[in-house]
Structure 1
């Protein structure tokens, strides 16, 4: 249940639920497991609602809002200028909710000979400047890149933070589970996934999350360091968004309020994400 791939849909059905209580949530694969956990708990105390949760990427979720196919778009990135323009063109008013904070983990095989990496080197790896690990670790082995499709919010986030264009040699994966599985079995591999996914799967953690530092002399920070994230010291941390069309707001407001309540906040923390203080 907790390891959903982007294409898998989790549906809660209620005999009492009508259209005004049927909520469709689509979007970010980074957020999908968290959204499922929140929906499960919400449904236990609000069983007159029905909820359908699916992933597929932030871009898909936002497109679903534009096409009238979702009430909430989960997104691990802000709206692009073109998306904002399209909403305006179609006369769709959007409310934006920031409901959690996430960190993106750079993962390598558990036998990788380094525990930390600097931002510049990371950029040269992902843009294809470095094609061998020799320049990084001294090992003359090819670098295998594992990433996401361009509609992924995590893809866009990494690209923007590192100020790069991704290497065309990067293998496009469908989600965190696929990336982690690939890196687990590939000693030359490197990829990126949500740290929350790692924290949810610590019992089967078979990859290494690299600590990151920006320049020589800086402390290397782990994406698993809760204190560092809360202090904003990890280079690859970001807010998680939910975009709601104005016409759906009344219907979803109970679910949004649940997320911000005590139980919702506990679920967010227990799932490996961080509380946003409004």
Structure 2
């Protein structure tokens, strides 16, 4: 994806929230002992809770008038307490642990956490286990808080710039074990991977290994922390690893191609639209039937402009809608190229529940975001165009019809928000961003929004 200007405009947080974000996560001892009962317990993904989770909690505390946030050690790695001074002068605490996505869902089942942080969607098995707590896939339980990408990183001296997902699977399975097989200098490939409890590893396995029928090579070095993994690759000229986009910022990242899709680098734009093959969503989950005011407050705060500013400050991609100009239209269908000449693409894609024509939970909230965006004074005279896409079928006419119906579904949802699309465009199965795996089909079934 090419754009003529930076995609995202940086916005400043309120002074209180920004002050909280700039505080280091280091131990302090200035507050009196806090209450034995924490306000909130947050458990799960290392990707989320190593940085973003505590900052969202701190932002919520600031919004409610709490001051002097401090972090205190617990004696257990990747666990800490965030303490603060309440408006009445008392000291309160929040328990936070970051041992991997799976541990968050286990803690929900054991009722040892209030909120589970996840760097992958909840699985069928986890939904079944947690069914007594309510439907964890419902809109009331599942909140997408940020977007991220699994970056494929190599040593700064490595000349490799691009891979397809099949090659990537073969590398991490050990089928391709020498850099010479990829056009590089002869020498063994050293693999760096996250541990089994990590949602980052779950996502890599689901998007890369499983579709290719592969398993991770037992010789891969495993790490609990994204940052530690990235640091190790920095010092290994033969290394290749996968980690979060935020942790990979200082290393070369490879462009990836999925099936018939084009090679795409991880960037704010390609991750915001989820076009990048290894784009992923970061979640908070909470039982819909049992939640405190603090749980409800954290979930809702994560969706606000202040919460999304914290997402951006934490190195992830916020759920903001911004226009960008598409400048490279080579090889694109004429209808799409014409649209790119007269309109700007918005940094949001609407996707659907797997095997369904219903908008997924993120898309439902994105409808509200797009409606708010279109109500801005500067957009009063501009026209909204929705472009629908479908995955490939044996009948191109059917693919075109389904693509139009997807655009119509988004238009209908917007109409309920008193926002009206000026035009619907069907691109059928053209311009795929992924292959024909189950995950690829979900990504290809999408609706883009354009501003004219």
TM-score, with structure 1 as normaliser: 0.85
Task: Work out whether residues 150 and 244 of structure 2, in 8 Å CA contact, stay in contact via their aligned partners in 1.
Answer: yes
Shift of 1:71: 0.7
**Higher-RCO chain (CA-CA 8 Å, sequence separation at least 6):** 1
Q: 1:75 to 1:10 in 2, by over 3 A?
A: farther
The match for 1:197 is 247
Shift of 1:14: 8.5
Aligned partner of 2:196 among 146, 150, 155: 150
Greater C-alpha radius of gyration: 2
Task: Work out whether residues 147 and 171 of structure 1, in 8 Å CA contact, stay in contact via their aligned partners in 2.
Answer: yes
When the two chains are superposed, the root-mean-square deviation of aligned CA atoms in Å is 2.8
Task: Work out whether residues 9 and 54 of structure 1, in 8 Å CA contact, stay in contact via their aligned partners in 2.
Answer: no
SS at match of 1:208: coil
1:131 aligns with 2:177: yes
Shift of 1:193: 0.9
1:27 aligns with 2:44: yes
Instruction: String of CA shifts for 1:165-216, please: whole Å, max 9, x gaps.
Output: 21111111111111011101111111111102334xxxxx2x2111212358
The match for 1:208 is 252
Q: What pairs up with 1:1-278 in 2 under 5 angstroms?
A: 19=37, 22-32=39-49, 33-46=51-64, 47=66, 48=86, 50-88=93-131, 91-93=132-134, 94=136, 95-162=141-208, 163=211, 164-199=214-249, 205=250, 207-215=251-259, 219-223=262-266, 225-245=267-287, 246-276=289-319, 278=365
Inter-partner Cα distance in structure 1 for 2:179 and 2:240:
11
Unaligned runs of 5+ in 2: 1-21, 67-85, 87-91, 320-361, 366-452
Shift of 1:135: 0.7
TM-score, with structure 2 as normaliser: 0.54
Task: Work out whether residues 22 and 50 of structure 1, in 8 Å CA contact, stay in contact via their aligned partners in 2.
Answer: yes
Shift of 1:15: 7.2
Task: Work out whether residues 30 and 197 of structure 1, in 8 Å CA contact, stay in contact via their aligned partners in 2.
Answer: no
- Structure 1's consecutive aligned runs of 4 or more residues displaced over 3 angstroms after TM superposition are 1-4, 8-11, 13-19
How many residues align? The count is 264
Larger deviation, residues 44-53 vs 249-258: 44-53
Q: 1:214 to 1:2 in 2, by over 3 A?
A: farther
Inter-partner Cα distance in structure 1 for 2:28 and 2:100:
15
Q: 1:273 to 1:26 in 2, by over 3 A?
A: same
Task: Work out whether residues 257 and 264 of structure 2, in 8 Å CA contact, stay in contact via their aligned partners in 1.
Answer: yes
Q: Decide which structure has greater helix share.
A: 1
Inter-partner Cα distance in structure 1 for 2:195 and 2:316:
23
